[in-house]
Every structure is written in C-alpha cells, then in structure tokens.
Structure 1
C-alpha cells in the first residue's frame, strides 16, 4: 500500500551525491546568469540554465555525467512535484467572492477560456492530424497545457504520469515545449507591449522596460525581502522544520487519498492529492492555536527550493533523441498553440476587461504562454508601480484558478482523460467549455464591445 521498504546505505549515498551535483548545476546557473548579460535580459531562470548545462555535460552531450546519474535525476521531478503542490493551500485564506467579484470575474473568465483553448485546440489538432498522419501518441496534445501554463515544474513532474500511462517520451517533449514557451512568452510579450504602446492601449504610458527596472540580479540590502518569519520559539521547534512537517503531513494525507481512490481512479498521481491534503491540514490547523504560526512565506520558500531542484533535474535528464524523433509534430503543435495564444489575447482582452484591459490581459498572456513569473514580469514592464487594478485582480484570482487549471487538478488528470476517452472527445469538451463560458459572459454582461483606440500623447 505504502512505500515502506528498506533503502540501502549505498542508495542513500548515491541519492546524496546526485542532489549535490544538482546543487552544483544550480549554482553554475546562478553564476552564468550573473556573468552573461544576455541571459538576464532574456529572464532565463538559473534553474533552467543549470539544467541545460547538465544536459550538455550528460551522455547525449560531452559525457561528463554518466547515464546512471542522469537516470537518477530523471526520477526526482515526479517526487519533487509533490513537495511543490502540497503547500499550495496551506496558509491560504480564500477572499470573499462578493467583495472581489468585479475584479476576479473578468480575470477568471479570461484565464479559464484561454486555458481551455490551450487544452482543446492542441488535443483536436493531435487527434485529427498528428496522431493519424504523423504517428503521434494520443496524449501528444496534452503537453501544451502541462508545459505552457504549467511550466517546467509541472512538465517535469508529469513525466512519471506519462510513463505510467505508457508514453515514456511525454515528459521529455513537455520539457522541450516548456522551454519554447518560456522564450516565446517573454519575446512575444515584449512585442505585444511595444504594439500596445504604439496603439495607445497602455494606461501607464511611461511604463518603461524590465531592463530599466532591474540593473542587477543581486538585490540591494535595503530592498531585500524576508523569505519567512519565525513564528515559534526556537526551543520548541525550528521554523523551517515546523513548516516542513506541515508539508509532510499534507503529503501523507495525499497518500491515503491515493490509496482510497485507487479502486475508482487507477493511476491517480500523488501531487494533486497532496495539494488537497494541504487544504485539509490548513482547515484543521486554522482552528487551533497553531493556526497563527503558519507562515506562507516560509512555505513558499520550501516550495521554491523544490521547484528549482525539480527544474534542474528535469532539464538535465531530458532525452534528446525523443525530441528529435518527434520534431515535426512538436513544431506544428507549438506554432498552432502560439497562434491561439496571441489571437485570444487580441480578441478577448479588450472585450473582457473594462479597465486597464491591456495590463490585465498581458499578465494573463504571460501566464498562459509560460508561467506566472513571466506574466508578472510583463505586467511590471507596462505598470512598474502597479497603479492599475491588474496586479491586485490577478492575485485575487489565484485561489480560484491555480488549484484547477494551469498546473492544477485538471492538468494532472488530462493525460489520463485523453488516453481513456481519446484526444478528440476531450478536446471537443474543452472547446465546448469555451463556448459555454462565452455565452455565460454575454448573459452576465462580462463581455463588452472594445473601447475605441486612443493614440498616445
């Protein structure tokens, strides 16, 4: 039922050495980003840089790292993704819907419609064209939802899920897709910002560029934020150990859920259930004296560490031959998804958002095309002081969106659904969901005619 078997001393030592090597690659990524200006201008994270370096030094590159070590790294993402997901609902208090409806409803509408399009269109394309004519796996279209809104972390973690469903190359293709999406989101996002400035769509016309806001990756002393607060006396327990224990209980709760659901949903991955376990732990602990001791920043720190190591391990262990063997269907899928993302931004943005439409749409574009950090980077490029409602509205939508799509529960179940019911059926349901949301938006008057363009002064 549970993995309680003995692990040998040699296995633990091998594991420690593998983790140490990943740490060295992560540090190398930091040094490369600090030393090479173009990497900073591209906003490539150190974890991705370190992972690429590991792949270059691996068996498909220079051969410094042996295949056995790379195979060990390949097992990390499927485990670490559980540590990333478990604290998502810990320390979270959902905002009151009535108070935030005007801000959250348009954000949720745009987010859900855009994400469902990135599920439906790739799956339909895969089921109608890529699978019958190019021999792609029926789950091929799912890699866009997994890797674009989900990012490298979800893509790496889902590799084990694809493997359990009989498609061993799914994780590697998702990682390649996530890398393309990261560059696409940044480059095309900046192109859209320049277009928006020329057309007079920016509310804060003097927004500036990301490069001007941050001249160095080393944060000055006066601007350094804390990564967590000590909420319990040291003679009771260390702060990091306490929050690590909360995550551990959430994961154990997820394991119990996985065992109970095994008869109904065979092959259910652990990480979304660990997230539910985190919500259960939060519901219980919030009713005790320890409720005030839960520090979200400490939880995010643990989550961030796991995500960085996950990305390094996933990218460093990527199977290059699998990508080359699937190059043509992958390129077709990526180009189609890029057109969908840009088209949806231009079509829905001015119709869904009544105030600061460009700022609210661009942060969602970055999130759909890559990850939340890219969306926020693009938002800071057009609204550096966060004077518009975009930042607050985007933050308020997170509890109602992130646990479900863009790396949430539906994302985790998508490969199994496509494998069971077929890509055309699942893709059709997703596109139908977009149509239903559009009709609902018209009924609730959340969909309006775009305002006339204004020229910048």
Structure 2
C-alpha cells in the first residue's frame, strides 16, 4: 500500500461525505430522520462499491474489469477497511481531553438517576443478548455464545466500538462478528431516531412531558443540518498563536500523545501478563484487548497532567470536539461502506433476533423503568439515555432537544454528568471492549451472572434510592 493509494482513498472519503451532505439537504424524508451525512454517504458507498454495484456488474463483465469493484479501485476499499479500527482510537482518546471533571457529589446528585437508569439498560443488554445466544442462537444457528454481547457492543458502543473490535473478532476466530455488529449499530441509530420520535409523540399526547405540550418541529435549516445564522458561534478557540504552532496541530498532537500513552499501557499489560501469569497458565487475555479503551485512559492521564501544569488553559474542548467529530464521520462512513452484506444475509435471522431483542429491551426500559428510577422529568431525561442506548450520544442529545428545546429541565446537565462515570465502562468503554475477550476466555455463563448482578445493582439503586426521592 503506497502513500498515493492512501491519499486517493481519502479523496473518496471526501467525495462521499459531500455527497451524503448534499443528499441530506435535498431529500426531505432523510431530514426528518435526522440521519448524519456520514451514514448517508456510507450507504451510498456501500451501494456503489463491490458489495452491490460490483456484484451486479460482474455478471456482465470479466473478472479483470475495473467495474467488478464498483466505482472504487481495490486499493480504496483496502484502505477503508482499516480506517475504522484506527480512528476509533482518536475518538476515545478525545473523550476527556479539555473536559473539566466535577466533584463526585455533584455527579451523584445531578447525574445519579440517569446513571442508575443507563447502567441498568446497558448491563441488561448483555443479559438479554447472552440469554438469547445461549437459548436460541447457539443451539439453533450454531453461533458462539459471545454473539449475545453484540447488542451492547453495537447499540451502546456504536460503529466506533464495532470497528475497534474488528481485530479482536478476527483473533478469536469470529470475523463475522464485526460485520454483524456494524449492521446492528446502523439499525440501532435508525431505530433510535424513528422509535424515539414515535415515543415523543406518544408522550406528548398522553401528557407525560413537562415542557412541551405539542410536538414542535425544527426549522428547515435545522432539518438540513445547517446551523442557523444566529447560532453560528466559533467552532473553537485560538488558545495559542499560530506563528508558534497552529492550534489545530497542537490539539491533534495531544490526541496523538493520548493514543501513544494508551498503546504503551497496553504493551505494559501484555508484558506483565507474560511474566506473571504466562509461565503458569496458557492464557493470553491481554492480547485480545483492543487499543481504544486504553487510549481513553491515556487521554485522562494527559488531561490530568495538563490540569497540573497548564495555567494558560491551552487545551480547548471545542477544538478537541472538532477533531473527534472529524474522526467519527470518517469512521462511520468507511465502516458502513465496507460492511459485508454477505455475512449479514447469511445470518439474517440471528441478526434480526438480536436487533429486535435490543430494541424491545430499550423501549421497556424507557416506558417501565425510567418513570420509577428518575424522580423528576423522567421522560425528558430518560429519552436521552434511550437514544444513547440505541446508537450514539448524538441521538440522545437530539431527542432531548426535541422534548426540552430551551434546556428547562435537568436533562442535559444530568446526562452530561452521567457520561463522566458511564462512558469509561459501558457505551464503548472498558466493559464493552473487554466483554468479547472475557466471554471467549471464561465462557458466557460467568459473564451472564456478572451482568445480571450489575443490572440488578443499577435497578435497585434507581428504584429504592433515587426513585424514592
């Protein structure tokens, strides 16, 4: 793979991002779904690539024809298939860079109810998924029990986590898990928005909302994904002078340093396992751990260091957000554009069973558990966690913005504080990253028992403590 081929692959990324944005502006039903341009561009790339167009054209041309790979040179799809696993490290290294971490008391008081609710839902996805795998997917379809973890990996973790675990799936001999989890992540985002808006309409009609009493539509610009003129604040702050170093370059270097710290931590863990446990057992658990959760820890360590020495506050959170968002857009587009349709079609029934089970559990959580766990504004606060548990954090924020357009409830503040404790573990954190290796090494039953205990802890704390307040 040459540098020219890598650069050309990024030109294709740029073209499909722009094409996805153009389609979002022009097609009204996609605007109503609030689909990100990266997802639209990813689907277009999938259709115009070797999976769809290439297979159709291959029936009429020779195997040596350029068109058997769709409109893509083969080198482009090769580069694209590796990008998601690399860029997820950038996304997770950016999670806590430039972020202020409040005290535990404030996190507990404001975000505690949503943390209890999200904790119950997240661990419950493992419970539902693994039970489905043990009772149906393994005996009927011959899939490994770790398939049950794909609901949480895809729904809570999203495309990024699925991409980050691609190497893990290959190492344990279940490469199909990557394609299934990317497909489930796509279903999660689509159903999160569609089902979320249906639930909002239901809640308004039934008087379950405290702020809005009728469903308010967004402006045409908002639906098109264009910032209104009056809301166009600077995307980031210039915290250093460009003649010394470009601010974007500085923040990119900090993200890279965080990934490097995470890599060194991972190598240290692998080395320690080899000298402490390796001589007595055959386990190689640490080699299955992906890099991205350690990159997140690297970001925390880098930020703690800057909290001590950076009196000028040169780390700007908004600039970090732009880098993170850039990486996430490319990650989603390339992950969808290279997903294997053949794998999903081969496992279509298990795929649909996992997707249906995940959706039903999340809906049950919002309608049954949230009113009993969240003491006030339960729907405004719970719909955000529902959206996140179906796909990405942005989905939760979008749904909260619909039911609380002027931030009159504690929903946004509680959601933000909850993320500080929740993200390092579930939703693509350490637990999500380690679940596949843990089930592979120690079996599904021990992990199922642990997941049941964790889910019950979240439910009991929510019901007996926060729900009584």
Query: TM-score under structure 2 normalisation?
Result: 0.90
Q: Distance in 1 between matches of 2:89 and 2:394?
A: 20
User: Could you say which residue in structure 1 is the equivalent of 2:37?
Assistant: 46
User: Could you say which residue in structure 1 is the equivalent of 2:278?
Assistant: none
- Contact 1:58/1:67 (<8 A) preserved: no
- Residues 61, 239 of structure 1: alpha-carbon distance in 2 compared, 3 angstrom cutoff: same
Q: Distance in 1 between matches of 2:254 and 2:390?
A: 32
- Contact 1:173/1:323 (<8 A) preserved: yes
Q: Distance in 2 between matches of 1:92 and 1:162?
A: 32
CA RMSD between the two structures:
1.7
Query: 2:246 aligned with 1:226, yes or no?
Result: no
- Residues 29, 108 of structure 1: alpha-carbon distance in 2 compared, 3 angstrom cutoff: same
- Contact 2:366/2:386 (<8 A) preserved: yes
Q: Distance in 1 between matches of 2:225 and 2:287?
A: 45
User: Could you say which residue in structure 2 is the equivalent of 1:6?
Assistant: none
Give the one of 247, 255, 262 matched to 2:255. 247
Query: 2:238 aligned with 1:238, yes or no?
Result: no
Deviation of 1:379 after TM superposition, in Å, equals: 1.1
Any unmatched runs of 5+ in structure 2?
A: 54-69, 274-285
- Contact 1:155/1:174 (<8 A) preserved: yes
Deviation of 1:55 after TM superposition, in Å, equals: 0.8
- Residues 67, 126 of structure 1: alpha-carbon distance in 2 compared, 3 angstrom cutoff: farther
**Deviation by residue 1:114-145 (Cα, 9 ceiling, x = unmatched):** 10001221012112220122111332112211
Deviation of 1:360 after TM superposition, in Å, equals: 0.9
Deviation of 1:161 after TM superposition, in Å, equals: 2.4
Equivalent position SS for 2:51: coil
User: Could you say which residue in structure 1 is the equivalent of 2:65?
Assistant: none
Give the one of 361, 376, 384 matched to 1:340. 361
Equivalent position SS for 1:355: coil
Q: Distance in 2 between matches of 1:46 and 1:109?
A: 33
Query: 2:418 aligned with 1:397, yes or no?
Result: yes
- Contact 2:122/2:427 (<8 A) preserved: yes
Q: Distance in 2 between matches of 1:378 and 1:21?
A: 32
Give the one of 314, 320, 323 matched to 1:293. 314
Query: 2:156 aligned with 1:165, yes or no?
Result: no
User: Could you say which residue in structure 2 is the equivalent of 1:98?
Assistant: 105
Query: 2:455 aligned with 1:447, yes or no?
Result: no
Deviation of 1:192 after TM superposition, in Å, equals: 1.2
User: Could you say which residue in structure 1 is the equivalent of 2:304?
Assistant: 283
User: Could you say which residue in structure 1 is the equivalent of 2:118?
Assistant: 111
User: Could you say which residue in structure 2 is the equivalent of 1:81?
Assistant: 88
- Contact 2:204/2:213 (<8 A) preserved: no
The ranges of structure 1 where at least 4 consecutive aligned residues each deviate by more than 4 angstroms after the TM superposition are none
Any unmatched runs of 5+ in structure 1?
A: 1-9, 450-457
**Deviation by residue 1:269-306 (Cα, 9 ceiling, x = unmatched):** 11111111111111112211366100000011001101
Q: Distance in 2 between matches of 1:196 and 1:183?
A: 20
Equivalent position SS for 2:237: coil
Deviation of 1:95 after TM superposition, in Å, equals: 1.2
Query: 2:195 aligned with 1:178, yes or no?
Result: no
Q: Distance in 2 between matches of 1:215 and 1:376?
A: 15
Q: Distance in 2 between matches of 1:310 and 1:439?
A: 37
User: Could you say which residue in structure 2 is the equivalent of 1:425?
Assistant: 446
- Contact 1:59/1:66 (<8 A) preserved: no
User: Could you say which residue in structure 2 is the equivalent of 1:197?
Assistant: 204
User: Could you say which residue in structure 1 is the equivalent of 2:16?
Assistant: 25
Q: Count matched residues.
A: 439
Q: Distance in 2 between matches of 1:244 and 1:314?
A: 22
